[in-house]
Chain A
Amino acid sequence: MVDKQLLKEVLAEALAGGGDFADIFIEEKRNTAIGCEAGKIERVHTGVDIGAGLRVLLGDVTAYAHTNDLSRNGLLEAAGIVARAARGGKKDINLDLQLIKPVVDFKFRDRPGDISTERKVSLVEAADRAARVLDKDRVKQVIVGYGDVTQNVIIANSKGDYVEDERIHTRLLVQAVAASGSTIQTGYEAVGGLCGFELFEKFPAEAVAAAAARRAVEMLAARPAPAGKMPVVMAGEAGGTMVHEACGHGLEADLAQKGLSVYAGKKGQVVASEEISVVDDVTMDGRYGSYRFDDEGVTARPVELIKKGVLSDFLYDRLTAVKDGRESNGHGRRQSFRYKPVPRMGNTYIAPGKTDPVKIIRETREGLLVKKMGGGQVNTTTGDFVFDVAEGYLIKDGEIGPMVRGATLTGNGPEVLRMVDLVGSDLGFTIGTCGKDGQGVPVSDAQPTISIKQLIVGGTGRQEGPDPKIRRL
Chain B
Amino acid sequence: MEDAGVSLDIAASALSKTRMLGAETAEVFLSSTKELNIEVRNCRVETLKRAEDRGLGIRVMEGGRVGFSFTSDLTPAGLEEAARQSLANCARTAPDPFQQLPESGAVYPCLDLYDPRICQAKVEEKINLAIAMEEAARAYDSRVKIIENAFYQDGETLVAVVNTAGMAVHYRGAFCGISLALVAGEGEESQTGFAFDFRLKYEELDPESIGREAASRAVRMLGARPVATRQAAVVLEPYVAGGFLGLLGPALTGEAVQKGRSLFAGKVGSQVAARDVTVIDDGTLPGGIASAPFDGEGVPTSRTVLVNEGFLQGFLHNTYTAAKDGMSSTGNGVRSSFKGTPEVGATNFFIQPGLPSPEELIKEVGTGLYVTDVLGMHTANPISGDFSLGVAGLWIENGEFTHPVRGVAIAGNIVDLLMAVDGVGNDLKFYGGKGAPTLRLTGLTISGQ
Tell me the total A-B contact number using a CB cutoff of 8 A. Answer: 239
CA distance A141 to B258 in the complex (A): 12
- List A residues 24-61 near B (Cβ within 8 Å): 34, 37-38, 40-51, 60-61
Residue A67 lies at the interface, judged by CB distance under 8 Å to chain B: yes
Min CB gap B149→A, angstroms: 8
Given contacts A47-B70, A388-B388, A469-B230, contact A184 B383 (CB under 8 A): yes
B221, closest chain A residue (CB):
A382
Min CB gap A256→B, angstroms: 12
- On whether the beta carbons of B72 and A51 are closer than 8 Å, the reply is yes
How many residues of chain B are within 8 Å of chain A by beta carbon?
Answer: 80
- On whether the beta carbons of B388 and A460 are closer than 8 Å, the reply is yes
Given contacts A460-B411, A460-B412, A460-B445, contact A386 B92 (CB under 8 A): no
Interface code B373-387, partner A: CB below 8 Å = 1, 0 otherwise?
A: 001101101011010
Interface centre among A63, A65, A121, A384 (most CB of B within 10 A): A384
Residue A118 lies at the interface, judged by CB distance under 8 Å to chain B: yes
- On whether the beta carbons of B412 and A472 are closer than 8 Å, the reply is yes
- On whether the beta carbons of B411 and A385 are closer than 8 Å, the reply is no
- Residues of the A chain whose Cβ atoms lie less than 8 Å from the Cβ of B229: 227-228, 463, 467, 470
Residue B447 lies at the interface, judged by CB distance under 8 Å to chain A: yes
- Residues of the A chain whose Cβ atoms lie less than 8 Å from the Cβ of B41: 258
- On whether the beta carbons of B48 and A62 are closer than 8 Å, the reply is yes
Which listed residue, A34, A50, A386, touches B390 by the CB 8 Å rule?
A: A386
CA distance A85 to B37 in the complex (A): 12
- Residues of the B chain whose Cβ atoms lie less than 8 Å from the Cβ of A66: 49, 51-53
- Residues of the A chain whose Cβ atoms lie less than 8 Å from the Cβ of B375: 377-379, 384-386, 410
- Residues of the B chain whose Cβ atoms lie less than 8 Å from the Cβ of A40: 93-94, 96
- Residues of the B chain whose Cβ atoms lie less than 8 Å from the Cβ of A263: none
- Residues of the A chain whose Cβ atoms lie less than 8 Å from the Cβ of B275: none
CA distance A338 to B81 in the complex (A): 23
Min CB gap A47→B, angstroms: 4
- Residues of the B chain whose Cβ atoms lie less than 8 Å from the Cβ of A258: 41, 146, 148
- Residues of the A chain whose Cβ atoms lie less than 8 Å from the Cβ of B24: none
Residue A303 lies at the interface, judged by CB distance under 8 Å to chain B: no
- Residues of the B chain whose Cβ atoms lie less than 8 Å from the Cβ of A64: 47-50
Residue A407 lies at the interface, judged by CB distance under 8 Å to chain B: yes
- On whether the beta carbons of A384 and B146 are closer than 8 Å, the reply is no
- On whether the beta carbons of B388 and A459 are closer than 8 Å, the reply is yes
- On whether the beta carbons of B379 and A68 are closer than 8 Å, the reply is no
- Residues of the A chain whose Cβ atoms lie less than 8 Å from the Cβ of B115: none
Residue B267 lies at the interface, judged by CB distance under 8 Å to chain A: no
B47, closest chain A residue (CB):
A62
Residue A457 lies at the interface, judged by CB distance under 8 Å to chain B: yes
How many residues of chain A are within 8 Å of chain B by beta carbon?
Answer: 77
- On whether the beta carbons of A44 and B376 are closer than 8 Å, the reply is no
Interface centre among B44, B69, B379, B416 (most CB of A within 10 A): B379
Interface code A208-241, partner B: CB below 8 Å = 1, 0 otherwise?
A: 0000000000000000010111000000000000
Residue A387 lies at the interface, judged by CB distance under 8 Å to chain B: yes
A374, closest chain B residue (CB):
B379
Which listed residue, B78, B88, B383, touches A177 by the CB 8 Å rule?
A: B383
- On whether the beta carbons of A141 and B447 are closer than 8 Å, the reply is no
- Residues of the B chain whose Cβ atoms lie less than 8 Å from the Cβ of A225: 388
- On whether the beta carbons of B445 and A227 are closer than 8 Å, the reply is yes
- On whether the beta carbons of A259 and B146 are closer than 8 Å, the reply is yes
B441, closest chain A residue (CB):
A473
Residue A381 lies at the interface, judged by CB distance under 8 Å to chain B: yes
Which listed residue, A67, A259, A408, touches B411 by the CB 8 Å rule?
A: A408
- On whether the beta carbons of B389 and A473 are closer than 8 Å, the reply is no
Given contacts A41-B94, A177-B260, A386-B376, contact A338 B53 (CB under 8 A): yes
Listed by A's residue number, 15 A-B pairs whose Cβ atoms lie within 8 Å are: A43-B93, A45-B89, A46-B68, A46-B85, A63-B48, A63-B49, A66-B52, A117-B92, A186-B384, A376-B376, A377-B378, A384-B375, A457-B409, A467-B230, A473-B412
Please give 15 more A-B residue pairs, beta carbons under 8 A apart, in addition to A378-B375, A382-B191, A473-B445.
A41-B92, A44-B89, A48-B71, A50-B73, A62-B48, A68-B53, A375-B378, A377-B376, A384-B375, A388-B376, A408-B388, A408-B411, A457-B409, A470-B230, A473-B417
